Structure 1
């Protein structure tokens, strides 16, 4: 191997190691502006803490205007339940065959968290946005770092990279004794 090729190989390895160490992704494909995101699919992990209890789940969330499907699996990948929401209401379908219906997904999420989690607001928060009127904290690029909205505290712990249009990679939402930490592993649009 020539000295030039060895230098390039070492430089590439150092650069890739730096990206991995920071957890920032540099390979973001072009996407719509954050404010134009009306639908998405995300894969990630969540830790749900309430008092002294903590549960970890893998989640897959398909979101579009007025429609959501959130699948919950254990950390080994075994399906635990699925939450569906559409114009007809919301359904909780567990792996053991339990089916519960309600008028709102927020009420059904309370089955997991013992407190209603606002799905419409959560869809904004995971994309680094908040509802009009929320108290926001922004970074130098104008991205949301934190928000106070309807009694919830939202903190963006990390973005996927340093680009202005980057999406959150880690966030935490909290109200009272309930704290949910999300690590988003992948996005599709």
Structure 2
């Protein structure tokens, strides 16, 4: 009688011990991540393409990110200004090449009108530096210990290329996606600002 009671208890205990072995392994920030610095103010220039699965836009981007301010200039592949977006504590203002002027409470409300897809502007400044917030999940690292794949609020950020082999090198090519939304960014130049 006694062995019958112990057997189910032992099976349950063995199963409980085996479950953690079946859990998927993830590479988190504590496992060999190269030291990454975050610049709160910067200027970058590059090329961008964005798609929502139905429509797409591409061209050049110039982005100046400061303390509480953002200035985006989006240019056509031929170098003509397609749109300029400026944002600060007072809101966001968008001017398009065809003379339209739009105002909104935030950059997030206006930048999708230019690119044709949702853009996580609030997180983008960290993503372009491969310095995600602490609540983001670093899924894998490259051979230099830099983020290779990050999941942040449902967005997948893939670092396809860095600007050099050093552990603190900045990203050169980034692919950002969530569902049908996809943003590809190639950074040609980067300047940290005071």
The yes-or-no answer on 1:148 pairing with 2:158 is no
Give the root-mean-square deviation of aligned CA atoms: 1.5
Q: Give the superposition deviation at 1:114.
A: 4.2
Cα distance in 2 between the residues matched to 1:187 and 1:113: 22
Q: Give the superposition deviation at 1:120.
A: 2.3
Q: Which has more radius of gyration?
A: 2
Residue correspondences, number: 157
Question: Would you say the 8 A contact 1:50–1:113 is kept in 2?
Answer: no
- Aligned counterpart for 1:63 among listed residues 62, 65, 69: 65
Cα distance in 2 between the residues matched to 1:110 and 1:52: 14
Q: Give the superposition deviation at 1:54.
A: 2.4
Query: What do the CA deviations read for 1:44-100 (whole angstroms, capped 9, x no partner)?
Result: 001112214322110000011211101000011000101111110111111222111
Query: What do the CA deviations read for 1:121-166 (whole angstroms, capped 9, x no partner)?
Result: 1111111111111110222433111111111110000001001110
Cα distance in 2 between the residues matched to 1:148 and 1:36: 18
Q: TM-score, normalised by structure 2?
A: 0.76
2:75 aligned residue: 73
**Any stretches of 5+ residues in structure 1 without a counterpart?**
1-32
Cα distance in 1 between the residues matched to 2:80 and 2:72: 14
**Closer, same or farther: CA 119–171 of 1 in aligned 2, 3 Å:** same
- Aligned counterpart for 1:135 among listed residues 128, 134, 137: 137
Question: 3-state SS of the aligned residue for 1:111?
Answer: helix
1:160 aligned residue: 163
1:95 aligned residue: 97
Cα distance in 1 between the residues matched to 2:65 and 2:149: 22
Cα distance in 2 between the residues matched to 1:154 and 1:176: 12
1:181 aligned residue: 184
Question: Would you say the 8 A contact 2:56–2:116 is kept in 1?
Answer: no
Cα distance in 2 between the residues matched to 1:54 and 1:115: 8
- Greater than 3 Å deviation, 4+ residue runs: 113-116
2:42 aligned residue: 40
The yes-or-no answer on 1:172 pairing with 2:175 is yes
